Structures are given as C-alpha cells and as structure tokens.
A = this chain, B = another copy of it.
Amino acid sequence: MSYQEILEIRTPGRGTINISPEVAAVVSRAGIQTGICHVFVQHTSASLILCENADPQVRSDLERFLVEIVPDGYRMFRHTAEGPDDMPAHVRSILTNMDLSIPVSGGRPALGIWQGIYLYEHRRHAHRRTVTVTVVG
C-alpha cells in the first residue's frame, strides 16, 4: 500500500517552520498502521530537518552555526548571479538534506518526544515550497 499528498508551504524567508502537524495529518489520512513516511522537498535551496522542538534557541543556534560555516557572500563561491545567499542555500540544503524518512507505528509518525519535523528555508526572501509526503507499508 502507498499513499501520497503534496503540501504547499509558504516561508517568510530564512528560518525553520514546524511541519510535524501537517505530516502527521497525511499519515493519519493514509490509514497505514506500520510503515515508512517519506518527506521530500522539491527544491535545492530549502531542506528538511529533525530538530529539538522545545527550545527555539536550538534552531537559532543551528542557524548561527550555518552562517558561520557557509556565510552568505562566501569568497569561494562563483555561482553568485542569483544573489549572495543562493549558493550558501544550496550547500546548506545538501548538508541538511532534502529528504527525510520517519517510521509509522500505530498509524502515526513515530517521532521521539523531543523531535519535530522542520522545513528549513535557506533563502533570505519568502518562497512557496512544495513538499511531497509518501506513506508506504
């Protein structure tokens, strides 16, 4: 069995958005008790992460870390036509991944208590991002 839905997520610019409720709703509608839930962002400058969901400083610290290792306007980059944040957004997306899979148990995403699923927008401006959720089992 397999079930799939496409989510459209509007981002206000760089930062993380908790999409755990939207993903859980798809899993619920799938009606699959045991299996895998695959989440995928159809872009190369946004990514998906599992992150601690209690203290927002964890996500702002993660952002500080990424700014430090892949700064906008990085002197090494030559792909600069789309702006100083474009190439760093590609590298950040590759380091943090565009695909994510979580187990499904008892018809629900089997996340840890402190795990949230976040869409990570890496561009500075607002975007509309497509996320495909597929449940198999």
The residues of A with any CB-CB pair to B shorter than 8 Å are 2-4, 34-36, 38, 40-44, 49-52, 55, 57-58, 60-62, 64-65, 68-70, 74, 76-79, 81, 87, 90-91, 93-105, 110-115, 130, 132, 134, 136-137
Contacts and interface: CB of A to CB of B under 8 A. Distances in A.
A81 B42 CA distance: 36
Interface of A is mostly: mixed
A93 B111 CA distance: 15
Given A57-B78, A69-B69, A94 B134 contact: no
Copies of this chain, count: 3
B36 A38 contact: yes
Contact of A114 (B44, B58, B100): B44
Chain B CB within 10 Å, residue with most, of A38, A55, A110, A114: A38
B44 A60 contact: no
B99 A42 contact: no
A87 B55 CA distance: 11
